[in-house]
Chains A and B, each alone.
Chain A
């Protein structure tokens, strides 16, 4: 392997940190969902790197599972965002969290 495995894992870690920072910093729900996507992608990236390092197909299988999970999560998340926007006319996560069950 010409590229050391550590470098690929560092890239995956950086991507994950960027996604985490996005979730923590942005208040817009769309951006938060996008950042979660970045984090999921980074996790799958780490799996594929490990699978390529040990020449096993298991890493790619795990990535396929992550892909499936991301697709389901995005469909439900976007439906939730649409509903929140329809009811509250806002995309701000802070304003949404003002709703308390009393």
Chain B
């Protein structure tokens, strides 16, 4: 258990360093996913199993997919073919794959090991979290709902195709494009 914590910490820090130092955006995204997964393993070791599942499902599953979508959308065009070839290079995916393999072996060992109990002695399961979330933190849940609604409206508004820019300075800059 203790070794699992330190190994995943090293993986998290290493992959975060790789995220901010990669030139290829796709490679950085892969390392970011590994970073989130290793933090999820640390949560699991610490006994926060519900949050570990949420980290994998929402962070690595939903938010990172959004990032990957946008990164691929921005690279559409004539050089998409060339970029596709650079993404498929082994140098891009071999590092994240090795780190993911380390984390996977770690999780399998954690689950199958006879040694039971988390580092903190007792796990804090979804039941306690749910009781706290919908008990004394209910106002926070409502505020989060408002925030999400504002986020949806904002993203829709920003993503909508608008009329050409009417501002005269920007119009000059664009030239005869309009």
Q: Is B19 in contact with chain A by the CB < 8 A criterion?
A: yes
Interface residues in chain B, defined as those with a beta carbon under 8 Å from any beta carbon in chain A: 1-2, 5-6, 9, 12-13, 16-17, 19-20, 25, 28-29, 32, 35-36, 39, 42-43, 46-48, 50-51, 54-55, 58-59, 62-63, 66-67, 70-71, 73-74, 119-122, 124, 128-129, 131-133, 137, 140, 144, 147-148, 150-152, 154-155, 158-159, 165, 169-170
Interface size class of A (residues with CB under 8 A): 35 or more
The answer to whether A71 touches B151 (Cβ under 8 A) is yes
- Residues of A contacting B19 with CB < 8 Å? 18, 22, 31, 34-35, 38
The answer to whether B59 touches A41 (Cβ under 8 A) is yes
Task: Pick the contact of B124: A7, A55, A73 (CB < 8 A).
Answer: A55
Interface residues in chain A, defined as those with a beta carbon under 8 Å from any beta carbon in chain B: 1-3, 7-8, 11, 14-15, 18-19, 21-22, 25-26, 28, 30-31, 33-35, 37-38, 41, 45, 48-49, 51-53, 55-61, 63-65, 67-76, 78-83, 85, 87, 91, 99, 102
Given known contacts A22-B19, A79-B158, A82-B73, A48 and B144 CB-to-CB distance under 8 angstroms: no
A63 to B46, CA, bound (A): 14
- Residues of A contacting B47 with CB < 8 Å? 52
The answer to whether A57 touches B124 (Cβ under 8 A) is yes
A30 to B19, CA, bound (A): 11
Q: Is the interface of A mostly helix, strand, loop or mixed?
A: helix
The answer to whether B122 touches A2 (Cβ under 8 A) is no
From A40, which residue of chain B is reached at the shortest CB distance? B59
Given known contacts A2-B2, A8-B46, A67-B58, A60 and B129 CB-to-CB distance under 8 angstroms: yes
- Residues of B contacting A64 with CB < 8 Å? 51, 54, 129, 133
Task: Pick the contact of A26: B16, B20, B62, B119 (CB < 8 A).
Answer: B20
